[in-house]
Every structure is written in C-alpha cells, then in structure tokens.
Amino acid sequence: MVQVNGDIKGMVVRLIVTGRVQGVWFRASTRAEALRLGLLGRVKNLANGAVEVIAEGDDRPIEQLILWANKGPLMAEVRDVRVEYLSDTPSYQTFEVIH
C-alpha cells in the first residue's frame, strides 16, 4: 500500500514497453486509458525507443492497465512489457504525458 495525498493507493508500478511503441499514439492512448481507469502517473518516450509508464492507484485498475499495455493502441506492436513494483514514487495529481 502507498499513501498518496492522504489517500491509500494499492500500488505503484513502472512499466517499460518495447516494440513499435513510439510514433503510434502510445503515450496519448496510455494517458486516456489510465484516466479512464482512475490512475495517476505519467508516460514518456525513452531514448532507446521504449515507453516508460509510472502508474499509481488501486490494484485492479493497475492490473487492467498492464493488460492494456501488452496490446497498446491499434498502430502499436508491443513486443514486451516489463513490470516493476515500486515502493516509493512522487505523488501525481493526474496522469500526464511527458514530452
């Protein structure tokens, strides 16, 4: 359990998504999915061609985001999603795309 702004949240995860995930609306689609699920965090492109997602929230929505990330948006070709469970991360007010 993680405390965020006085609220207890289920977990915080870091996803590294590889494959054809840049230039295919992956970040914007991840943000839309995370907001739909009620999650906080961020998503950004990495220099190596992967996408990094930090998400915090209740267990079930986090699990749903992980499942979604394995497919991604229509144009994406996800090869792998590495999941790391974090014990400490900055608190977010929303889910944002980092440019």
- The catalytically annotated residue of 20, 27, 42, 82 is 27
User: What whole-number distance in Å separates Cα of residue 11 and Cα of residue 14?
Assistant: 10
- Select which of 5, 45, 48, 70 is catalytic: 45
User: Is the pLDDT confidence value at 4 over 60?
Assistant: no
Catalytic: 42?
A: no
Q: Could you tell me which residue, 89 or 11, shows the higher pLDDT?
A: 11
Q: For residue range 75-94, what is the model confidence (pLDDT) as tens digits? A: 999 999 999 999 876 789 99
Q: How far apart are CA 36 and CA 11, in angstroms?
A: 17
The reply to whether 27 belongs to the active site is yes
Task: Note the pLDDT tens digit of each residue in 31-72.
Answer: 999 999 999 999 999 999 999 999 999 999 999 999 999 999
* CB 82 within 8 Å of CB 5: no
Domain spans, the chain: 2-98
Q: What is the CATH number of domain 2-98?
A: 3.30.70.100
